[in-house]
Amino acid sequence: MKRLITSAAAVFTAAVCLVSCSSPLKSETKRRNGLRNSFTADASVTIDKMQAEGKLCRSGDAWDIEFTSPNTLSGVKLMFADGSVSASYKGLSFSVPQSAVPVKAMMTELISAVEENASKEELSGEEKDDTLRISGSLDAGSYTLIVDTDGNLCGFEMPNNKLTMSFTNFTLTGSQPEAQTSAETTTSAPAETTA
């Protein structure tokens, strides 16, 4: 009987080792934080069955997105600054149109997720296909913020809200916080000439 119990324990231990070895633990990867940067990027947005394309810009704390499609949003520009949202179309300002309300909500979530992570020294998350996937949670639900190898924004997802955003043609604009804080400047005195 003692042999049977010992054999069963050995088989159980071997099974546990095999299972734990076959599914490696996910490791957290760290990456420099580029989320404070000012930038422009082409945005592709899917909210449930609605798809939209546009140009996303961030300059300091101000964000805006100007849509190129669909036709119901083409030319509409939403601007987010100082906690308020304004809209314009070909120079005319107005309240946010009904067709843009879902986009306004998803932009607010994106901005909140970016700002929540921008204050961190380094970004940490799960590595996947040369990107870093950072998980978090907001009032509207859980999200995944996706950054590239330089720590710059390249995607945003909120599966419970059927929201997916991807950013391409990412271009840094203006002076960047990292350059201001980490760059050392050296000056040299002009060479003296003798007569």
Question: Residue 115 in 3-state DSSP?
Answer: helix
Over 70: is that where the pLDDT of 166 sits?
A: yes
Quickly state the pLDDT bin for 156 (edges 50, 70, 90).
Answer: very high
Residues 122-147 have pLDDT tens digits of 999 999 989 999 999 998 899 999 99
Residues 36-71 have pLDDT tens digits of 999 999 999 999 888 999 999 999 999 999 999 999
Amino acid 154: pLDDT: 96
Residue 9 to residue 21: CA distance in whole angstroms: 18
67, burial (CB in 10 Å: exposed 0-12, middle 13-18, buried 19+):
buried
b/e for 89-115, b at 16 or more Cβ within 10 A?
A: eeeeeeeeeeebebbeebbbbbeebbe
CATH 2.50.20.10 fits 28-173, yes or no: yes
Q: Domain spans of the chain?
A: 28-173
Written as one letter, the residue type at 139 is D
For the chain, the average pLDDT equals 80
> Residue 116 contacts by C-beta under 8 Å, 6 or more apart in sequence?
136, 138
Residue 133 to residue 135: CA distance in whole angstroms: 6
Amino acid 176: pLDDT: 55
Residues 97-118 have pLDDT tens digits of 666 777 788 899 999 999 999 9
CA dihedral (143, 32, 41, 177) positive or negative: positive
Amino acid 157: pLDDT: 97
Amino acid 91: pLDDT: 83
